[in-house]
């Protein structure tokens, strides 16, 4: 089985986020960038699947500019067999990402696609679902556990009411949640070996797809700080507080 793992270069989760001057995005200049944490979990799961002898090859793919090669090198150092960079300087929205991944998955004849449930820079949570729809494959989103069988994979999903287990026949698309695993530490020898692994760079134009934006961001704002809470002793005091704040007439 061949596995395709989609990863994204995003601001590090510890980085201080600043807005652009025009207010329509976040500033990435001089900001530490890293692999999206949910994608890192997806890659770790792919590595564990291969270590069990279920998969034969892991391909890491990302979409972005030359700087994204650093993120792919991290994936190779973790244990991916090879990497593909779909090179572009433009911002690619979820539907276009799904189209690109679908075309690559077909050309590589993969049987499983793993990716994070969402990216921490935009929190769209759309690509995995769109990708499964375009390929007409089964999908298991928000996965916290995978169990492989001869005829497919059981996916335990985290849902609002608790946990749900579904069965998927392969090929399939699975998006990872936080509790699926804990990614491994990258050793220095693996970092050195990663430099020798193959990384293919494919210009966006070679895919011959319409990747024009479908959504316009009008405004991005930092959330307001929440006011400190207040503890009340009884319902009467609560009502008085609500009247004082003009929540109740």
Write the pLDDT tens digit of every residue in 38-51.
999 999 999 999 99
In a domain, 249, yes or no: no
In a domain, 188, yes or no: yes
Write the pLDDT tens digit of every residue in 151-184.
899 999 999 889 999 999 999 999 999 999 999 9
Q: Average the pLDDT over each of 40-49, 72-81, 230-239 and give the range with the smallest value.
A: 230-239
Domain that holds residue 214: 2-244
Confidence bin at 96 (pLDDT 50/70/90): very high
The per-residue pLDDT for 151 is 86
For the chain, the C-alpha Rg in angstroms (whole number) is: 21
- pLDDT mean over 59-72: 96
The per-residue pLDDT for 27 is 83
Number of domains observed in the structure of the chain: 1
Write the pLDDT tens digit of every residue in 111-157.
999 999 999 998 999 999 999 999 999 999 999 999 999 889 999 99
pLDDT, greater one: 92 or 20: 92
Confidence bin at 22 (pLDDT 50/70/90): confident
Cis omega (within 30 of 0) for bond into 160: no
In a domain, 31, yes or no: yes
Q: Average the pLDDT over each of 10-24, 88-102, 162-176 and give the range with the smallest value.
A: 10-24
In a domain, 226, yes or no: yes
Helices of type H across 59-143: 68-78, 94-108, 127-135
In a domain, 145, yes or no: yes
- pTM here is 0.87
In a domain, 11, yes or no: yes
Q: For residue 40, what is the domain's CATH number?
A: 3.40.50.620
Using N-to-C axis directions, what is the helix angle for 94-108 and 127-135, rounded to 10°?
A: 50
The per-residue pLDDT for 39 is 97
The per-residue pLDDT for 41 is 97
In a domain, 144, yes or no: yes
> Exposed (0-12), middle (13-18) or buried (19+): which is 224, by Cβ within 10 Å?
exposed
- pLDDT mean over 11-18: 89
In a domain, 55, yes or no: yes
Distance CA 25, CA 31 (A): 14
């Amino acid at each position: 089985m061949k596995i395709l793992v989609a990863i994204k270069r995003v601001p590090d989760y510890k980085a201080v986020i600043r807005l652009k001057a025009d207010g329509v995005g976040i500033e990435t200049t001089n900001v530490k960038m890293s692999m999206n944490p949910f994608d890192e979990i997806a890659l770790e799961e792919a590595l564990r699947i291969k270590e069990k002898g279920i998969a034969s090859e892991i391909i890491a793919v990302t979409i972005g500019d030359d700087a994204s090669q650093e993120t792919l090198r991290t994936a190779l150092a973790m244990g991916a067999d090879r990497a593909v960079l779909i090179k572009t300087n433009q911002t690619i929205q979820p539907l276009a990402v799904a189209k690109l991944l679908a075309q690559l998955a077909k050309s590589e004849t993969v049987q499983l696609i793993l990716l994070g449930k969402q990216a921490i820079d935009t929190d769209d949570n759309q690509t995995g679902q769109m990708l499964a729809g375009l390929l007409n494959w089964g999908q298991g989103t928000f996965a916290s556990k995978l169990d492989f069988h001869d005829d497919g994979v059981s996916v335990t999903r985290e849902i609002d009411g608790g946990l749900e287990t579904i069965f998927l026949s392969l090929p399939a698309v699975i998006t990872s949640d936080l509790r699926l695993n804990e990614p491994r530490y990258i050793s220095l020898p693996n970092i050195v070996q990663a430099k020798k692994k193959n990384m293919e760079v494919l210009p966006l134009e070679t895919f011959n797809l319409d990747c024009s934006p479908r959504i316009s961001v009008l405004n991005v704002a930092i959330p307001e700080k929440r006011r400190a809470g207040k503890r009340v002793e009884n319902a009467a005091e609560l009502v008085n507080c609500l009247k004082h704040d003009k929540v109740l007439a």
